[in-house]
Amino acid sequence: MRVRKARLQDATDIYELVNSLSHDGTLLRRVFAEICENVRDFTVAESDAGAFLGCGALHLYGPHLAEVRSIVVKPEAKGQGVGGRLLAALLEESEEHGIGCVCLFTRIPEFFFRHGFREVTERAALPDKIYKDCQNCPRLFRCDEVAMARGQVPRVSILGTRAEAEQLVQIGA
């Protein structure tokens, strides 16, 4: 198995895999143009024969925070260490950028606990994430994902304040 940065030629595979898990809400649906625009955020895993096995993305908010997104493995590749290898590559990339904290929202926290993540009980502690994605999510007021972080949760934000994020997530509570 090989893990590498995605290329534009990988956009179709990424799009199809990510959206294959959007019908049940596991992942948010993405349009193809969005995948193409953000393909440089993605890392892919492929078999020794070059078959696409999975992907994950690292979104940078700034030196204080990055987010692991869209980490998904094809069903036939599950249990082969693909997800762990993708996550390790994304964490290494965050270290290369000097990122202080990596966050994510997931429905499978057990996997991420094994990789050094811990639960963040107050979602508003990640205001950049709230303002970038959550406010546009149809599940904002009934989110069933677990917020998690690895590293020191930042006390700074570039997209909005923690107080504003608290107001946003409490509107529907």
pLDDT digits (tens, 9 = 90+) for 21-37: 877 766 777 899 999 99
Residue 90 near residue 71 (C-beta atoms within 8 A) = yes
pTM score, whole prediction: 0.85
Give me the sign of the Cα torsion angle 96, 78, 106, 39.
Answer: positive
pLDDT digits (tens, 9 = 90+) for 30-59: 899 999 999 999 999 999 999 999 999 999
Mean pLDDT score of the chain: 85
Q: Does domain 2-170 have CATH number 3.20.20.450?
A: no
Q: pLDDT band at residue 168, thresholds of 50, 70 and 90? A: very low
- In angstroms and rounded to an integer, the radius of gyration of the C-alpha atoms of the chain is 16
Cα 25 to Cα 30, 86, 143, 158, distances in angstroms: 12, 22, 10, 28
Inform me whether the pLDDT recorded for 78 exceeds 60: yes
Straight-line distance from the first to the last Cα atom of the chain, in angstroms, rounded to the nearest whole number: 44
Taking the C-alpha atoms of residue 162 and residue 32, their distance in angstroms, rounded to an integer, is 32
Which residues, in sequence order, are bridge partners of residue 66? 60, 102
Return the domain boundaries, the chain.
2-170
Structure tokens given for 61: 């908010």
Residue 153 is predicted with a pLDDT of 83
